Amino acid sequence: MPGIQIMHDTDALLVVDVQNDFCPGGALAVPEGDAVVPVINKLMDRFATVVLTQDWHPENHASFASTHGAEPFSTIGMSYGTQVLWPDHCIAGDQGAAFHPSLRLRPAQMIQRKGMNPDIDSYSAFYENDQATTTGLAGWLKEKGITRVFAAGLATDFCVAWTCLDARRCGFEAVLIEDATRAIDQDGSLAAAMTEMEKAGVVIARENQIGD
C-alpha cells in the first residue's frame, strides 16, 4: 500500500486503552501489549490531534465475571446482547487503570474515559456496548473539523475494532495502524474483527506507511 499522508487539521490519532491492566503483568494482559508503546510514542508527533482512551470501570461492573459468580472469558446474555465476562480490570483510579508508564501523555489534548456505567460495557470510544449511549467523542472530533481517525492501542479485537467500526458509523474515515495494536485473540476474535473492519471500509496500514 502506498503511503498515507497525515492532514494536520483533519486527522486525529486515537490511542485506545494503553493501560497497565492490558499490559504484561496486568489483570487482563494482552500478549505483548506493551509492544505498542514505542510505536505509538513515535506516531504521536505526526498528529496535531491526539486522543487517549481509558477503560474506567466501577467495582462490580457488569462486564466482570466476579460480578456474576462466573468464570472469566465465559459469556452471558445482557439486555444489549452477548457480553464476554472479563477478569476484574481497570478499576477507576487504581494503578491497573493508569496509562502504561512509558506512554507519552503530553501530546494528548483529550482523555476519553469509558465503561463507567455499572450496567453496560463500553469497548468503543464512541458508544457504549448498547450501541446507543454516546460518549460524546464524535461531537468533540467533529466540532474540531476532524474527518479521519487513526486507531492504535489495545486490544485490536475488542476496544480498537469497536472504535474503528463506530468511527465509520459516525461518518469518519478510519485507519487501523496494525503494528500499533495487539490482540487478545480468543476463539477467532481477531480474524472476525479484521473481517468486520474491512467490510466497514476501515483501511489497514502500518506505522511506516503513515507520514507527515
What residues make contact with Zn ion under the rule CB under 5 A?
55
- Phi and psi at residue 157, to the nearest 5°: -90, -5
Answer for which of 11, 34, 55, 128 binds ligand VGL (CB under 6 A) is 55
Instruction: Report if residue 21 touches ligand VGL, rule: CB under 6 A.
Output: no
Of the residues 114, 157, 164, 166, only one is catalytic, namely 114
Q: Does residue 159 have an active-site annotation?
A: yes
Answer for which of 47, 56, 64, 86 binds ligand VGL (CB under 6 A) is 86
Burial of residue 98 (CB within 10 Å: 0-12, 13-18, 19+) is middle
| Nearer Cβ to ligand VGL (16/48) | 16
The whole-angstrom separation of Cα 94 and Cα 73 is 22
Cell of 172: 469518519
Return the range that interacts with ligand VGL (CB under 6 A); candidates 1-9, 141-149, 153-161, 191-199: 153-161
Strands (E) in the chain, as ranges, are 4-5, 11-16, 49-55, 75-78, 81-84, 110-114, 148-154, 173-182, 203-205, 210-211
Min CB(4)–ligand VGL separation in Å:
24
CA atoms within a 13 Å half-sphere pointing along the CA-CB vector of 95:
4
Answer for which of 50, 103, 154, 210 binds ligand VGL (CB under 6 A) is 154
Residue ranges that bind ligand VGL, judged by CB under 6 A: 17, 22, 55, 86, 123, 154-155, 158-159
